Amino acid sequence: MFTVANILTGFNLLAGVSSIIFTFSGRLEWAVLAIFIGAFFDFFDGFAARMLKQPSELGKQLDSLADLITFGVAPAMIVFVLLIISGSWDIIVAQDGSLDQLWKDGTFGYNINYWTTVYLNDLVGNANPYFPSHFYGWYLIMPFVALLIPFLSMFRLAKFNLDERQSTGFIGLPTPANSIFFASFALLLWDGFGQDNWKTVMSMTLIKDQVLMTFVVVFSILLVSEVKLFSLKFSQFKWNGNEIRYTFLILSAIIIALLYVWALPIIVLLYLILSLVSNLLITDKK
């Protein structure tokens, strides 16, 4: 039971739980880092199982349980909080307010924690003089749209365990890619905090409720779709047969070098686009 591979899977789960704790503490940047740490352990648990010849049905099930937390629940909680911020900004704009009323004096973490606390108090009707009421109506319900992510991630992970067609590629968007896409929005908001430039405008636009909820619905559907996506597993390292993988890795490296954290959502979109192009090329050859 307590093999090296299974222990690494356990660290993956702990990273996901830590991400949730950091999210509701206001430290979204730490929450995203925890998800990346979870992804690191998720990669190496399978690697360790193959190297040490420890693959097992138990390990397979543990991996899915850990992935549901780290790549399903944790990113959903980040989106939940981002929708709280978006709702707060909508209410301020409706009252002819300014961005200064959203981003008060203090750190990024303080501001995220403040609005999350105000929302949770309003959600359950706690009257608190230190956190004046702000949210009402639809804005109390809106953040729950984020729960579509773990709901369909559960089906995605169960399907992956049973679907023998996914040995060399994926059918449906992998949960780690989905998690990275949504977690990156928190990093962009963090990077644009306290600035008055394109980063501020773009990060606030991306978390706009209509934009973010659209992404949640579309990407959640992709999780359980029949869309074929390539994997980054190499059976051999020659160019022939790995053209799509090398193209993706080269373009990703260039985008990261140019855009840093802003590259993350673009890379996930690039992954989807290249997969669709690859599918079309394979269809044409047939």
Residue 282: the pLDDT is 62
Q: Please give the Cα distance from 194 to 196 (Å, whole number).
A: 7
pLDDT of residue 284: 53
**Of 179, 181, 182, 187, which Cα lies nearest the Cα of 203?**
187
Nearest Cα residue to 58 out of 5, 116, 99, 118: 5
120: its two tokens: 């949770």
- CA 144 from centroid of its chain's CA atoms: 16
- Residue with tokens 């992954």, as numbered in its chain: 271
Nearest to 180 by CA among 70, 254, 259: 70
The token pair at 283 is: 């269809």
| Amino acid code (one letter) for 285 | K
* Nearest-angstrom CA–CA distance, 47 and 232: 13
Predicted confidence at residue 238, as pLDDT, reads 78
Contact 189, 237 (CB under 8 A): no
Q: Which domains does the chain have, with CATH numbers?
A: 4-226 (1.20.120)
Cα R_g (the chain), whole angstroms: 20
Contact in structure between 65 and 28 (CB atoms under 8 Å): no
What SS3 state is found at 25?
coil
Give the 3-state secondary structure of residue 15: helix
Cβ neighbors of 219 (< 8 A, separation 6 or more) are: 149, 173, 178, 181, 182
Torsion of CA 169, 172, 175, 176, to 10 degrees: 40
Would you say the C-alpha torsion 193, 73, 221, 272 has a positive or negative sign? positive
| Angle of helix 175-192 versus helix 198-206 axis, rounded to 10 | 140
d(CA 281, CA 84): 42
Written as tens digits, the pLDDT of the chain (286 aa) is: 778 778 889 999 999 999 999 999 999 999 999 999 999 998 887 777 677 677 777 778 888 899 999 999 999 999 999 999 999 999 999 998 888 889 988 899 999 999 999 999 999 988 888 889 999 999 999 999 999 999 999 999 988 877 677 666 788 999 999 999 999 999 999 998 988 888 889 999 999 999 999 999 999 999 999 889 988 876 667 777 778 889 999 999 999 999 999 999 999 999 999 998 888 766 555 5
